[in-house]
Amino acid sequence: MKIYHNPRCAKSRQTLALLHDHNVATEIVLYLVDVPDALEMKDLLLKLGMTPLELIRKNEASWKENYKGKNLSDDQVIEAMIAHPKLIERPIVIKDTQAVLGRPPENVLKLL
């Protein structure tokens, strides 16, 4: 499995710990450093079954200051996530063609 992880996020740490508790081999992607490109974001969204706007952390300052209240296309929302990766809700866990958001962390049990 692969986890898009932010070590400073409690939910992300809890999700990673849950995977380790179940002895799941996990590839960790530090998405704030290794920012997904547009193609990767579209693939993640497809696997999650979500729209770009549903994956946005709307309480982040960069969203409120730059994007809130604007009528953005899906591509523009994806561009915002790439420009400001903190906007990407986390953690995202992927197994093959499926993905879940680790909020709550127990969501990842659906992939086991």
Residues taking part in catalysis: 9
Paired tokens of 83: 């420009």
Q: Is the CA virtual torsion 30, 9, 15, 41 positive or negative?
A: negative
CA distances from 91 to 3, 18, 106, 108 (A): 7, 12, 12, 10
From 1, 80, 85, 3, select the one nearest 36 (Cα to Cα). Answer: 85
Read out DSSP for 89-110? -S-EEEETTEEEE-SSGGGGGG
